[in-house]
Amino acid sequence: MSKTTHRHFIITGLLLLAFTVSGSWNNLTTAVRVDIKNVTFYHAYGYLDGDQWVIPMKVYVSEPRPIQERAITALVRRWYDLDEQETEIFQSRISAFIADSEFREEVVFVFDDDSEGEEFRFFSEDGTPLRTNLNGIKNGTISLSRERAEQLLTQQNSRDGWLTIRAVSEEHEGTGRIRLIPPYGISVISDIDDTVKITEMPAGIQIVLRNTFFKPYQAVPGMAALYQHWHDAAFHYVSGTPRQFFNPLKEYLFHEDQGFPPGSMHMKNVQKNFLSSETWGNIGELLINDDYTFNQKSGQIADILEAFPERRFILVSDSGERDPEIYRELMRRFPEQIEKVYIRDVINDRERNPERLEGMEIIPARTVTRGVSQF
């Protein structure tokens, strides 16, 4: 192993250790904690079940840890010889990894401009309020009647089904978005890395690390225009990227300069608290199970398809990982719903392995070569 590769693995391990312990030792960091807890509402969707809108949601509660951010950033800057821009980018992208995950938090939120001021929270089947786990995460579901949903859409002057929410529980702050998607129409399910954002996954870990943590994001040319062509579609972005990148990806992709249509976001649930047994199993899955992302994305996409049995779907991804195999299996399971699959071919399988992409629309792309970056 070369010194450069060895250093990459050491830094990756160091960051993983720093990220995972950041939420474990609250009693040791009291002096640097702040009062306000951030609530991340991952972009969600709602679907109709009879006369009720059902909205599955995920929230993350955390507190920033600026001293730890700066310390890790300074170390990585020296090891990787980062310039000023790269240093700023790195610190901004590790923020959610370093943040102190908040345990047993109950999140209360309201819809913006709601004249009734109705408060929502997650409950178990027996009516007990649900609180965040050791990793600061809580999954839950809320429901709205058709009449109530129409009222909120009118009050927010929403013409595209999007609603905004905000945390109102004590010491919490955060906003989120939910799209209520009707039972009929066209939906697009899209990957992110090397499909709408250039990551160069087939190039190897050294290049992926730089593109992920140090470099400005670069949109894939032409993909925003393709997505805008489906102007009446609902969008879902399903990615193997860890959920800790939600905010930087959301701010980049859905900014008017990029032009990608906003949609629900479904990402890899990477745990980071060593006191949680889920974390140890999660890290093990990441390190040794090649099927981890395959299963994650397959499950998340299947959930969307099952929520909208009457909608028609377009699936878009790239050939750099196992998405063609994921999509082929989903085409077998949901043949009446999936109308078309687009694959951006970044490894030239259209010539080297054409049977892998059989029956899929190929988007030609520059071939990504291991160890070589276009930047």
The CATH number for 126's domain is 2.60.40
Indicate if 87 and 162 belong to the same structural domain.
no
**290, pLDDT greater than 90:** no
Does 375 map to a domain? Answer: no
User: What does the pLDDT look like over 102-130, one tens digit per residue?
Assistant: 999 999 999 999 999 999 999 998 999 99
Does 250 map to a domain? Answer: yes
Residue 228 to residue 282: CA distance in whole angstroms: 36
Q: How far is CA 355 from CA 56, 291, 327, 349, 350, in A?
A: 37, 21, 14, 8, 8
Q: Residue 284: what pLDDT? A: 46
Report CA torsion sign: 245, 248, 254, 259.
negative
Indicate if 9 and 43 belong to the same structural domain.
no
Q: Residue 321: what pLDDT? A: 93
Q: Say which amino acid occupies 191.
A: D
Burial 20-35 (b: 16+ CB within 10 A, else e): bebbbeeeeeeeeeee
pTM, two decimals, is 0.90
Report CA torsion sign: 178, 111, 270, 95.
positive
User: What does the pLDDT look like over 249-276, one tens digit per residue?
Assistant: 999 999 999 999 999 999 998 765 544 5
User: What does the pLDDT look like over 292-333, one tens digit per residue?
Assistant: 889 999 999 999 999 999 999 999 999 999 999 999 999 999
**32, pLDDT greater than 50:** no
Residue 333 to residue 316: CA distance in whole angstroms: 17
Please state the rounded mean pLDDT for residues 334-360. 98
**7, pLDDT greater than 80:** no
Q: Which comes out higher in pLDDT, residue 288 or 85?
A: 85
Indicate if 139 and 4 belong to the same structural domain.
no
- Helix or strand or coil: residue 204? coil
Q: How far is CA 340 from CA 232, 263, 316, 337, in A?
A: 16, 19, 9, 9
Please state the rounded mean pLDDT for residues 5-29. 46
Does 349 map to a domain? Answer: yes
**Are 360 and 329 in contact, with CB atoms under 8 Å apart?**
no
Does 76 map to a domain? Answer: yes
Domain that holds residue 56: 34-64+99-180
Indicate if 72 and 142 belong to the same structural domain.
no
Indicate if 26 and 40 belong to the same structural domain.
no
Q: Which comes out higher in pLDDT, residue 290 or 95?
A: 95
Indicate if 190 and 224 belong to the same structural domain.
yes
Indicate if 158 and 225 belong to the same structural domain.
no
Indicate if 107 and 239 belong to the same structural domain.
no
Banded model confidence at residue 36, pLDDT cuts 50, 70, 90: confident
How many beta carbons lie within 10 A of that of residue 154, not counting itself? 10
